Structure 1
Amino acid sequence: MRYGTGAWPWYLLALVVIALDQYTKGLASANLEYARPVAVFSWFNLTLHHNSGAAFSFLSDAGGWQRYFFTAIALAVSALLVAWLYRLQRGQWLLALSLALVLGGAIGNLWDRLVLGYVVDFISVHYAGYYFPAFNLADSAITGGAIGLILDSFLGRPAAGSEEE
């Protein structure tokens, strides 16, 4: 049996991710000075950055066309994820959770790109002078969802028509 209209809790989770992402980005934008780190721990800073590119600022200096390119990709992927969640078999909770996290993260960053023209990043992790590129809650949700998708692919499901189904 498919989730169909029963997929609404997963869509609600995606909305919660979007809301938390936008809330934290708003707090960061209102309370942090651009590119000025605020140390939280020896390995963790809050540092406001605006990313006009993709992950890890890929294509951030490409001249502006990338905004529309990444917007189109995010819209297409989001539509695909909405349909995929709707068509999932009941009981595929890890896959549904993963898709909902990716969907919420994708839309959270899409909103920034549409409204601001860039994505707000503010989480900075570093160690011994090596800095991981700044990121946000949407990026974290996408990463968590991607890990869940990988785990789900390894767990496998019984073949259609098998007795375990």
Structure 2
Amino acid sequence: MAKTKSGLSFLWLSVLAFALDLFTKYLVVQKFELYESVNILPIFNLTYVRNYGAAFSFLADHDGWQKYFFIVLAIGISLMLMYFLKKNTADQKLQNSAYALIIGGALANMVDRTYHGFVVDFLDFYWDIYHYPVFNIADVAICIGAGLLMIDAFKSEKKKIQDKQAEKSGQK
């Protein structure tokens, strides 16, 4: 019996997201002063900021316990998603890619948080005086992963509906 390849084969995507994120953060920390900003486009700056919380600085104003909470959360979620990857077959491309990107992003932010005590953010999009919260490559990987999971869920639901319709039409 042939052994089917699991979704773990997509972990290269985790490594890519992880390495790209940490490399870009390293460059920002080496080349920028805190809060230094360089205009790249009329709607985009590279701006070095520190995030002591999670998404959109959630829990950033607490006294430090959140650092450990987010470290444990990143490890827990990554282990759970690796388990899902192991259970999946390699042909579940959208779901495996999504899980891998989320793992890479979560672990990269976790390493940053562990090493620095905060997460380095630097991608600053804005319009006029309205700035979107500054973020990083790990955040992009996590968001793309979440988007791929939504697409996969819609595709799976559509397939279920089509299968039910085919089953009904076959019974008549």
Same fold (TM over 0.5): yes
> What is the DSSP-based 3-state SS (H/G/I as helix, E as strand, rest coil) of the residue aligned with 2:27?
helix
Correspondence 1:122 to 2:122: yes
Name the structure 1 match of 2:49: 49
Secondary structure of the equivalent of 1:59?
A: coil
Residue in structure 2 matched with residue 78 of structure 1 by the alignment: 78
Displacement after TM superposition at 1:34 (Å): 0.8
SS in 1 for 2:53: coil
Summarize deviations over 1:91-140 as a string: whole Å, max 9, x none.
Answer: 21011111111111001101101111111101100002100010000000
Alignment of 1:150-165 (within 5 A): 150-156=150-156
Structure number with greater Rg is 2
Corresponding position of 1:99: 99
Could you say which structure has the higher helix fraction? 2
Task: Kindly tell me the number of residue pairs found equivalent between the two proteins.
Answer: 159
Q: Is the contact made by 1:78 and 1:106 (CA closer than 8 Å) also made in structure 2?
A: yes
Who is 1:61 aligned against? 61
Give the CA deviation at 1:88. Answer: 0.6
Structure 1 residues without counterparts, runs of 5 or longer: none
State whether structure 2 residue 23 is matched by structure 1 residue 7: no
Q: Does 1:18 align with 2:50?
A: no
Structure 2 runs not aligned, ≥5 long: 167-172
Distance 1:66 1:113 in 2: 10
* Cα distance in structure 2, aligned partners of 1:16 and 1:125: 24
Q: Secondary structure at the match of 1:91?
A: coil
What amino acid sits opposite 1:130 in the alignment? Y
- 1:43 deviates by 0.4
Matched residues in 1 for 2:27 and 2:78: separation? 25
Partner of 1:148: 148
TM-score (norm 2): 0.87
* Contact kept in structure 1, 2:90 and 2:96, CA below 8 Å: no
Paired residue secondary structure (1:89):
coil
Counterpart residue number, 2:33:
33
RMSD after superposition: 1.8
Q: What is the rounded CA distance, in whole Å, between the counterparts of 1:60 and 1:86 in structure 2?
A: 34
Moved over 2 A (4+): 1-4
Q: What is the distance in 1 between the residues matched to 2:53 and 2:109?
A: 11
SS of 1:135 mapped into structure 2: coil
Aligned-partner Cα distance in 1 for 2:115–2:5: 32
